[in-house]
Structure 1
Amino acid sequence: MQEQTAMEADKVRYPHQFTQDLVIDPSLYTDSSLLKDVDMLSDPTVIVTDPMIMGMVLKYFYCYVHKGSFDEVVPLQDISALCEMFSRHSSLNEPDDDIELMNYLRQWSFSLRMLADVTKTSHIIRSIITQKVSPKLKKSEEYVGLDIGTGTGILLLAQHIHARRLGFKEITLYGIEYDKMVGLQSYKIFNELGLAEIILGDARDQRNYEPLLNKQVTFVSNEMVAAMHQPLRREHFVSISKTLFGTIGENIANAGFFPEGLIAFCKEMNVSVLLAKNTAFLGPKEYHDMNLLPQGIIIEGNIVPLHELGNELMPYLSEWSKTRLSHRW
């Protein structure tokens, strides 16, 4: 298979757009580079706002498509045009579309869908960068983060910001990704940024946790949460949790987690079950071999139905983007 690479930053010129065509209100957006936004959000004296996070997510979406643009100012109209194109990438091209770009969006559709769901992704990032850590880990000299099913790596970036806001100078981050093509893309990005190590492998394989065996892990994010109406087994959430806690359970004893917990429905027992850290995200033993369907997520200490995740950020979006941007769940 021919290796796919990100589009060159200067390959596409986006047309001027009117305010009503923009993804978010321009008064909420800062014309700056992704790296400048990361530095700003990493400053513990800065009060983080939802539009700040959403702006960073939009820029990461743009930079994931346009290679090498991390330190370039990204105009909102360019991001908005890219989002508009992505909102219809599964359909036929329009006459003025850049064919190469549209095909690229189709090739990377699954990964980009997570980034284009700006409100849900921003809500998750907010929960990570503002989460408190165990006093025991605060005394550590090193912040160690793990992202399972890392995909585009956006949650690794959130962990990097989290670590810097907590004052850590030594930051070590690992992302595990099963999809080789997606993993190689993230490897290139984080190798260029110098922020994380991407492990190409299956999170159900104990060998992929070897770099963490002698480390105390500060934070774990697990993105392998199935969509509503799909069993958690589909994304191997249960088997990954078994391997994670069975391999480095002691190392993650004090770690923070995303999700903090899951509410899942058990069809066989006709009840909802809480999956959380205290049961290795497996729930009571009698439910271990049953089909569990995710219903809700525990985030920022609150139980939120999956379909409502990110809803509180929706008012920041323009009217067209509320209905046309993709959804991760």
Structure 2
Amino acid sequence: MNKIDIQYRSTQDCGTFATGLTWSPLASAGIQARNFTAAIQTLGAGIAPDFYSPDSLAVIVERLCDPEEPLSDTGLLNVAVKYFFSYVHEGAHNDPIPYAELAELYEQFSRHQSMNEPTDNIEIMNRLRMWSSVLRVLADAPRAAHVMRAVIGRADMRQGGGGPFVGVDIGAGTGIMLLALQILARRNGFTDIQTLGYQTDPVSGERTHDLVHSLGAGSVMLADPTKENAYGMVRGRTANYVANEVMAGIQQSLCAENCFNKYRAFFAAVGDSVSNAMFFPEGVIAHSAATHASVILASENGFQPPIEFLGDKFIPQGLILEGKVLPMHKLGRDFYRYLT
């Protein structure tokens, strides 16, 4: 395997959790992304945290696309929480969202796998269950915001001069990566922008496409990304950015089916057209409990483990972002302080 020079991000780099804090529903739902059946009891659930903006998701996204607008953690966190809300409520991306309604939805999601309360909107609860696999990623707003910052904040992105910009997400679950790629491209002067994601779940895939498309952030294809012919729309074109949202998933194991075969098919289809592309993540450090093997998956090795481990399931332990290792448990940590 190729050697990769990487640096470790210390706790001081990422910040630390404060103790004795009163968590808001937004923070609580993020924590509950690992166990949704416990209902959350919160005090002052209708009191908006300081970071919260009443502006609509569409307005905030348009603002972030302006290169003169500073990229702030609070802005990205607003995008994350309102994207979650807009995923459930069709058309809500154009409307201001009162914080009380947002907090109510997070509270409902924290217990969506349990029985309904008498006052629950049955249709909303059913949507939460139907799209659960996607929403539990979005519910962890600090992680979602951190992922967007890692993409949009790339200081080494070349200036567009108009375009074209081609961005691909081979594991587009929520679509938020495509939104980040769109913002990145526009902030760097591209006007001819094409962002395309791949989904295999027809239920959540349709909703993801609709929301991404309504925000002008590209499209999501229902196609098997483990097959070379799925990448016909990008074959022969120079790709600027290749992402895989699955890599940053919560407790998501990586295996041939959801990772290695996708990358193998993608690289076989596009060839040298990605030789200068950026990647999210740049690499992943992962561990197999079955064989006690630890591997680095990166573009240099096609995101493939050694052949003898291709049948293993690996748990991501750290992401390589801008040449540094970020332990998985610290993904999103910078943002939790805004939710109290």
Q: TM-score range by the shorter chain?
A: 0.7 to 0.9
Structure 1 residue ranges without an equivalent (≥5) = 1-17, 319-329
- Residues 152 and 186 in structure 1, CA contact (< 8 A), matched pair in contact too: yes
In the TM superposition, what are the counterparts of 1:70-149 in structure 2 within 5 Å? Answer: 70-133=93-156, 135=158, 138=160, 141-149=163-171
Residue 210 of structure 1 aligns with which residue?
232
Q: Which amino acid in 2 is paired with 1:141?
A: G
Cα drift, residue 262 of structure 1:
0.2
The one-letter code of the counterpart of 2:330 is: E
Q: 2:60 aligns with which of 18, 37, 43?
A: 37
1:180-225 residue CA offsets vs partner (Å, 9 max, x unmatched):
1212112222343343122111110111111111211111111233
Q: Find the aligned partners of 1:218 and 1:64 in 2 and give their Cα distance.
A: 27
Offset of residue 134 of structure 1? 5.5
Q: % of aligned pairs identical?
A: 36
Q: Is 2:204 the counterpart of 1:179? A: no
Q: Once the 2 structures are TM-superposed, how far is the Cα of residue 32 of structure 1 from its aligned partner?
A: 0.4
Per-residue CA shift, 1:239-263, capped at 9, x if unaligned? 1111111211311111111111100
Tell me the TM-score normalised to structure 1 length: 0.83
What is the aligned-residue RMSD (CA, Å)? 2.4
Runs (5+) with no aligned partner, structure 2:
1-41
State the match for 1:64 in structure 2. 87
User: How far is 1:289 from its partner?
Assistant: 5.0
1:20 aligns with 2:20: no
Match of 1:303 in 2: 325
In structure 2, C-alpha distance between the alignment counterparts of 1:155 and 1:120, rounded to whole Å: 12
Secondary structure of residue in 2 paired with 1:198: strand
Q: 2:299 aligns with which of 264, 267, 277?
A: 277
- Counterpart CA distance in 1 for 2:103 and 2:234 is 40
Residue 132 of structure 1: CA displacement? 3.7
Give yes or no for the alignment of 1:165 onto 2:192.
no
- State how far apart, in whole Å, the 2-side matches of 1:130 and 1:256 are: 12
Number of the residue aligned with 1:257: 279
Identify if the C-alpha distance between structure 1 residues 21 and 294 changes in structure 2 by more than 3 Å, giving closer, same or farther: same
Give, in angstroms, the shift of residue 316 of structure 1: 1.4
Aligned with 1:212: secondary structure?
A: coil
- The DSSP-based 3-state class of the residue aligned with 2:273 is coil
- Residue 30 of structure 1: how far off its partner (Å): 1.2
**Aligned partners of 1:230 and 1:121: how far apart in 2?**
15
Show the 5 A alignment for 1:315-326: 315-318=337-340
Give a deviation string over 1:278-320, Cα, whole Å, max 9, x none: 11111455544554332111124321222221112111123xx
1:197 aligned to 2:233?
A: no
Greater CA deviation, 260-269 or 168-177?
A: 260-269
- The count of residues paired between Structure 1 and Structure 2 equals 299
- Take 1:313 and 1:71, find their aligned partners in 2: how far apart are those partners? 25
Tell me the amino acid that sits aligned with residue 93 of structure 1.
N
Kindly state the Cα deviation for residue 139 of structure 1 after the two structures are TM-superposed: 6.1
- Give deviations 1:59-81, integer Å, cap 9, x for gaps: 11111111112221111221111
Q: For residues 87-141 of structure 1, what are the alpha-carbon distances to aligned partners after superposition, in whole Å with 9 as ceiling and x for unaligned?
A: 1111112222212211221111111111111011110000011114564x84672
CA distance in 2, matches of 1:284, 1:250: 22
Relative to structure 1, the CA distance from residue 101 to residue 289 in structure 2 (aligned partners, 3 Å threshold; closer, same or farther) is closer
**Alpha-carbon distance change, 51 to 157 in structure 1, aligned in 2, over 3 angstroms:** same
Secondary structure class of the residue paired with 1:294: strand
* Cα displacement (A) at 1:85: 0.8
Amino acid across the alignment from 1:39: E
TM-score by length of 2: 0.81
**In structure 2, distance between residues paired with 1:115 and 1:181:** 16
Q: Does the 8 Å contact 2:267/2:302 carry over to 1?
A: yes
Looking at structure 1, the residues matched to 115 and 176 of structure 2 have their Cα atoms a distance apart, in angstroms, of: 29
For 1:32, the aligned partner's letter is: D
Q: Relative to 1, partners in 2 of residues 1:151 and 1:183: Cα closer, same or farther, differing over 3 Å?
A: same
Change in Cα spacing, 1:133 to 1:234, as seen in structure 2 (3 Å) is: same
**Distance of 1:230 and 1:159 partners within structure 2:** 22
Alpha-carbon distance, 1:154 to partner: 1.1
